[in-house]
């Protein structure tokens, strides 16, 4: 694997911002889609930037993910390709969701230049919003965990995905935006093992290479070190994921467990609104179809003695799984948005891992690979037939 | 005040009266500032408050809703309904400290070319005093 | 003066007793109430039809997992309930239901409404992990002492309409020192009286609008003023709005849980608000940058124009907001102001017309010029 090395000035974000500025100057792209600090500085929002000066408050690696990046990209390209060339700088799970959405025709990737970045995880939105400044410090410490020499906790090699990040991030094994992480960005930015002195620009394809060329950046340096680090961490995560899912099983498997887990659910459907894959303008579970005559509800109540109201909480969650779990990227956005702190993302990505495994399908890995439900083989799944 | 500032006013004009009034003002070559972008609607009551909000946030310096005089609406009561909606929107603007002076409701009949010119001139002057709509430049909206 | 049924049991037991009586006697076929739904203490609204299941009912539990009015609307959207059902809901939930019925989103027919003088509810987040149970004694103590209950939601602390307007039966709680062993159940309507006919208890006369109620209303009014002063929305302007909603993640959860937002598909989620890329490009050119997804502020002002007139201040919008934006306070304040223009109080009376569906020929001349 080959890439280019950029010097870190001040902080990790700086060379990236400079790089983007240069890209705008050289007309490699006309606009940048990037998280920017909101006016009072207590959160981040996606901003499509044309005017370079706005990049000042941009942060390619914010400590939280208030809106999943693929959703932001979809909001501007859902109705067709952009005429402007846009560089979108996102976390790997956001890139993967964007690729899934392109298959679902909710994102148009033409003229979009996808840049991914090594992801240290993000903090739960609630934790961050309570104390933004403290959270920011904590996040920086995590970030620098990849660069042991600068870390205040220098002895510990890697802090990424530690307990203060979201549960989804703690077990994410696809945190890099190259083939290694099954992610198909055009250009990946590496920070693992950079000792906080450099960052790595790793082109994933011709598009990535040509942009670097245009900017007179040569990508000929060996990236072996970075690759080694990434693989190491990936192994750690895979193990952790297995453990966590093993525990989760006992919590969610079986109807009683499921009912318990969702007993606090208030049917606000924030989880589905925040999910990048749930793109439907009108969700089936909010449609007329779900609004039944009163007799129907009374009958159901009588047959059981009592009917939770609204009913059909599990129908919603299980139904949503059947609709989107093949494309769930495990980003954790649903859990962040849940006012009742239900482990939605953990449950959904656990189920998703299994259903994706059936087809050996990894969402976001390859834009050309068809969605599993759009194709079939004549000779398959005989085990489910009787 | 910026002398060069030419306000952009979006006007939702009722087809049956104010739009014709605007026409009349035009053909009579009455003097008025070139600030209006007219949108024809079938009745002042067709103006969803969301239209006004959107136009305001996109950066129109002023928004005018103009319809038939009370009692003259072609749909009998459209303009009364429009007045309520407008009053509510204005109240919401005031409650939130938004410049409600950038919104105006006027009744102008088809024959009132001069009144049309006067409304536009007055409103334009008012907007000039207020200056450009700050929403124009806001990135976070 | 109205008729009062006195039961010599704690308020909670008395309501249980009343519900049991209604169901057992066959006067109602179903009970709509909060109920414990599992051993971990999760509480949700339920439609209960069996006496056995009624044991787990917690009609006075200080939590609002959803606005009961919204749920009743869902129950009766496709036609009224065919058999009598008693619904135990809070005053703001009842008001919300009335507003929905005005909008033809439900039907009052065959319902018997029980409500209470309401001390408010705790924020939803407290309920996670069953923490409300730990707060119950504090809740009832404050209620007895006629104090605003600490840690309840800001909109509850400042709610003046805690005395239900249209309930058939009202459980008197606020300022009642002996709700631990006595309960006064006000029978406000003939219907209410008819339904309790035959129950064990003492019938007396009483006044719901007690001194305590009046003094509580004043306390709440003061609290409301404080709340409004603190947030100071009249000084927001564009800048304040942008700052307040900077954190908004655009989930529109606030509208999904709002009882007044009844649309199947919200206008701002509709295709009208989806644009071809060139529209964004024009904006981009003009501003140099553009927040995406766009229309954060416009969504909020737009929602205000739609629900302001009927907002009952139930507080759910703020409760579910993942970004901790005090939306309910903003909506309550703007709602108050819009409602005052028409001397309109949402949910006071089902016959009262929603102001936006009617007009007077002589009014608001001050907005014309
Ligand atoms: S279900 Fe949750 S974890 Fe999966 S893609 Fe949607 S938001 Fe992300
Ligand atoms: S749950 Fe299904 S219907 Fe609802 S938004 Fe998701 S994919 Fe669409
Ligand atoms: S966000 Fe949480 S409470 Fe809301 S529907 Fe989803 S799981 Fe239920
Ligand atoms: S609930 Fe909160 S974050 Fe979601 S749309 Fe409403 S204000 Fe925004
Ligand atoms: S706007 Fe908020 S406080 Fe008002 S009725 Fe709706 S959910 Fe309740
Ligand atoms: S037709 Fe002109 S205002 Fe109604």
- CA A231 → CA A180, A258, C148, distances in Å? 8, 35, 58
* For ligand 4, atom 8: residue with the closest CA: C248
For chain C, residues with pLDDT lower than 70 are: 129
d(CA A90, CA A73) in angstroms, rounded, equals: 10
Q: Are residues A41 and A67 in the same domain?
A: yes
Last residue of a domain, one of A226, A244, A262: A244
Clarify whether residues A107 and A193 are in a common domain. yes
Question: Is A334's C-beta closer than 6 angstroms to any atom of ligand 1?
Answer: yes
Domain edges within chain C: 2-227, 232-367
- pLDDT at residue C236 in the model: 94
Chain A partners within 8 Å of B140 (Cβ): 38-39, 45, 47
Q: Is the same domain home to A234 and A267? A: no
Residue from the list C283, C295, C368 with its beta carbon closest to the beta carbon of B107: C368
Give pLDDT tens digits for A223-258: 998 999 999 999 999 999 999 999 999 999 999 999
Nearest CB to C289; choose among A49, A129, A292:
A49
Query: Across-strand partners of A199?
Result: A6
End of a domain among A201, A221, A244? A244
Residue A78 Cα to ligand 3 middle (Å): 26
Separation CA B137–CA B133 (nearest Å)? 8
Ligand at shortest distance from the CA of B75: 6
Q: Which residue among A124, A259, A267 is best mutated to probe the pocket of ligand 3, counting the most ligand atoms within 8 A of its Cβ?
A: A267
Ranges of chain A with pLDDT below 70: 148-157
Using alpha carbons, select from A322, A296, A323 the residue that is nearest to residue A309. A296
Look at B140 and C291 and tell me if their CB atoms are within 8 Å.
yes
Phi, psi of C54 (to 5 degrees): -65, -20
Range of the domain at A294: 248-384
**Of the partner residues A75, A264, A294, the one whose CB lies closest to the CB of residue C292:** A75
Task: Report A:354-383 residues touching C (Cβ under 8 A).
Answer: none
Residue A147: name the closest of A188, A186, A200 by CA.
A200
A13 lies within 8 A of chain B by CB: no
Mutate to test the pocket of ligand 4, among C247, C251, C256 (most ligand atoms within 8 A of CB): C251
C266 lines ligand 4 (CB under 6 A): no
Q: Based on the structure, what is the number of domains in chain A?
A: 2
Q: How far is A63 from chain C (nearest CA, A)?
A: 14
Give all domains of chain B, ordered by start, each with its CATH number.
9-132 (3.40.50)
- Give me the phi and psi of A163, to 5 degrees please: -60, -20
CA distance A380 to chain C (A): 39
Across the B:C interface, residue pairs with CB atoms under 8 Å apart total 119
Instruction: Report the candidate in A302, A300, A328 with the shortest Cα–Cα distance to residue A315.
Output: A300
Domain co-membership, A194 together with A266: no
Q: Where are the alpha helices (DSSP H) in chain C?
A: 11-24, 51-54, 68-76, 91-102, 124-127, 132-144, 154-157, 190-196, 211-231, 237-244, 253-257, 277-287, 296-307, 316-320, 327-341
Distance CA C102, CA C215 (A): 32
> If you count residue pairs, one on A and one on C, with CB atoms under 8 Å apart, how many are there?
219
List, as ranges, residues 264-293 from A with C-beta within 8 Å of C.
264, 266-270, 273-274, 281-282, 286-288, 291-293
Tens digits of pLDDT across chain B (141 residues):
556 899 999 999 999 999 999 999 999 999 999 999 999 999 999 999 999 999 999 999 999 999 999 999 999 999 999 999 999 999 999 999 999 999 999 999 999 999 999 999 999 999 999 999 999 989 999
What is the C65 CA–ligand 3 centroid distance (Å)? 11
Residue A179 structure tokens: 């083939």
ipTM of the complex, rounded to two decimals: 0.95
pTM score, two decimals?
0.94
Indicate which ligand has the atom closest to the C-alpha of C250: 4
On chain A, the residues whose CB falls within 8 A of the CB of C249 are 66-67, 125, 274, 337
Query: Smallest CA–CA separation between C233 and chain B, in Å?
Result: 5
Question: What pLDDT, on the 0 to 100 scale, is given for residue A152?
Answer: 53
> Taking CB atoms and an 8 Å limit, are A294 and C264 in contact across chains?
no
Question: Which of A72, A77, A129 faces C323 most closely, judged by CB atoms?
Answer: A129
What is the rounded distance in angstroms from the CA atom of residue B35 to the CA atom of residue B47?
20
Whose atoms come closest to the Cα of A278: which ligand?
A: 2
The nearest alpha carbon in chain B to C282 belongs to B58
Protein residue closest via CA to atom 8 of ligand 5: C314
Chain C, nearest residue to A335 by Cα: C322
Element holding C3 (H helix, E strand): strand C2-7
Instruction: Say if ligand 6 is within 6 A of residue B69 CB.
Output: no
Q: Residue for token digits 């959270």?
A: A135
Residues 154-173 of A with CB under 8 A from C: none
Please answer yes or no on whether A263 and C40 come within 8 Å at the CB atom.
yes
Residues of C in contact with B106 (CB under 8 A): 368-369
Nearest chain C residue to A35 by CA distance is C291
| A55, A85: one domain | yes
Query: Distance between CA C294 and CA A73 in Å, rounded?
Result: 11
pLDDT one-digit tens code per residue, C185-244 = 999 999 999 999 999 999 999 999 999 999 999 999 999 999 999 999 999 999 999 999
């Amino acid at each position: 694997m080959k890439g280019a090395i950029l010097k870190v000035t001040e902080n990790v974000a700086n060379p990236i911002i400079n790089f983007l500025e240069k890209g705008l100057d050289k007309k490699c792209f006309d606009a940048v889609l990037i998280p920017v600090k909101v006016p009072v500085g207590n959160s981040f929002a996606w901003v499509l930037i044309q005017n370079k000066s706005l990049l000042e408050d941009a942060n390619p690696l914010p400590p939280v993910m208030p809106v999943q990046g693929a959703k932001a990209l979809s909001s501007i390209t859902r109705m067709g390709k952009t005429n402007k060339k846009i560089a979108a700088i996102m976390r790997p799970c956001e890139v993967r969701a964007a690729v899934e959405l392109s298959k679902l025709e909710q994102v148009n990737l033409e003229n979009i230049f996808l840049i991914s970045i090594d992801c240290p995880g993000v903090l739960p939105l609630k934790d961050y919003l309570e104390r933004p400044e403290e959270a920011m410090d904590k996040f920086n410490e995590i970030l620098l965990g990849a660069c042991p020499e600068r870390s205040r906790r220098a002895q510990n090699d890697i802090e990424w995905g530690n307990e203060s990040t979201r549960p989804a991030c703690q077990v994410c094994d696809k945190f890099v935006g190259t083939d290694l992480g099954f992610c198909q960005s055009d250009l990946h930015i590496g920070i693992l093992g950079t000792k906080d002195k450099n960052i790595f620009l790793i082109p994933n394809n011709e598009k990535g290479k040509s942009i670097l060329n245009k900017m007179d950046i040569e990508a000929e340096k060996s990236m072996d070190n970075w690759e080694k680090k990434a693989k190491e961490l990936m192994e750690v995560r895979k193990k952790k994921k297995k453990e966590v899912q093993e525990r989760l099983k006992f919590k969610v498997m079986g109807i009683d467990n499921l009912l318990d887990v969702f007993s606090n659910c208030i049917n606000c459907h924030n989880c589905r609104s925040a999910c990048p894959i749930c793109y439907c303008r009108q969700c089936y579970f909010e449609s007329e179809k779900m609004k039944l005559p009163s007799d129907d509800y009374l009958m159901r109540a009588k047959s059981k003695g009592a009917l939770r109201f609204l009913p059909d909480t599990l129908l919603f969650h299980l139904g949503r799984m059947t609709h989107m779990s093949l494309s769930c990227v495990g980003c954790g956005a649903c859990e962040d948005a849940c006012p009742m702190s239900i482990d939605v993302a953990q449950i959904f990505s656990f189920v998703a891992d299994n259903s994706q495994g059936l087809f050996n399908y990894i969402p976001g890995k390859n834009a050309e690979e068809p969605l599993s439900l759009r194709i079939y083989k004549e000779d398959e799944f005989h085990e489910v037939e009787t | 005040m910026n002398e060069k500032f030419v306000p952009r006013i979006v006007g939702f004009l009722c087809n049956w009266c104010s739009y014709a009034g605007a026409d009349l003002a035009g053909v009579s070559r009455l003097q008025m500032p070139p600030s209006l972008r007219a949108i024809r609607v079938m009745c002042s009551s067709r103006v969803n408050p969301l239209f006004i909000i959107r136009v305001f946030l996109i950066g129109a310096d002023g928004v005018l809703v103009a319809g038939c005089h009370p009692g003259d609406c072609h749909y009998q009561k459209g303009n009364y309904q429009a007045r309520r909606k407008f009053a509510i929107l204005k109240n919401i603007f005031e409650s939130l400290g938004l410049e409600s002076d950038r919104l105006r409701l006027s009744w102008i009949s088809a024959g009132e070319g001069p009144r049309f010119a006067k409304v536009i001139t007055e409103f334009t002057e008012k907007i000039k005093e207020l200056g450009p709509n700050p929403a124009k430049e806001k990135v976070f909206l | 003066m109205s008729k009062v049924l006195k039961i010599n049991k704690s308020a909670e037991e008395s309501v249980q007793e009343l519900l049991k009586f209604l169901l057992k006697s066959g006067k109602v076929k179903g009970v709509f109430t909060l109920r414990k739904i599992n051993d971990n203490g999760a509480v949700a609204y339920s439609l209960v039809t069996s006496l056995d299941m009624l044991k787990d009912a917690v009609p006075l539990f200080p939590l609002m997992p959803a606005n009961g009015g919204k749920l009743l609307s869902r129950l009766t959207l496709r036609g009224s309930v065919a058999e009598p059902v008693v619904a135990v809901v809070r005053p703001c939930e009842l008001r919300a239901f009335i507003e929905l019925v005005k909008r033809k989103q439900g039907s009052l027919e065959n319902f018997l409404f029980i409500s209470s003088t309401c001390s408010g509810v705790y924020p939803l987040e407290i309920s996670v992990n069953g923490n409300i149970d730990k707060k119950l004694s504090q809740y009832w103590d404050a209620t007895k002492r006629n104090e605003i209950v600490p840690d309840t939601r800001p909109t509850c602390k400042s709610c003046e309409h805690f005395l239900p307007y249209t309930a058939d039966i009202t459980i008197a709680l606020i300022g009642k020192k002996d709700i631990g062993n006595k309960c006064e159940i006000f029978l406000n309507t003939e219907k209410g009286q008819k339904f309790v006919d035959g129950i064990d208890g003492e019938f007396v006369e009483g006044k719901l609008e007690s001194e305590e109620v009046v003094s509580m209303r004043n306390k709440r009014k003061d609290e409301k003023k404080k709340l409004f002063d603190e947030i100071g929305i009249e000084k927001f302007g564009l800048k304040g709005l942008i700052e307040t909603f900077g954190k908004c993640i655009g989930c529109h959860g606030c509208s999904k849980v709002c009882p007044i937002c009844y649309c199947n598909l919200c206008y701002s989620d509709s295709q009208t608000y989806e644009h071809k890329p060139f529209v964004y490009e024009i904006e981009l050119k003009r501003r140099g940058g553009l927040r995406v997804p766009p229309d954060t502020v416009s969504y909020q002002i737009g929602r205000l124009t739609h629900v302001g007139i009927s907002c009952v201040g139930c507080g759910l919008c703020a409760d579910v907001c993942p970004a901790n934006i005090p939306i309910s306070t903003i909506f309550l304040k703007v709602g108050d102001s819009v409602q005052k223009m028409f001397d309109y109080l949402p949910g006071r009376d089902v016959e009262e017309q929603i102001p936006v569906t009617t007009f007077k020929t002589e009014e608001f001349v001050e907005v014309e010029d």
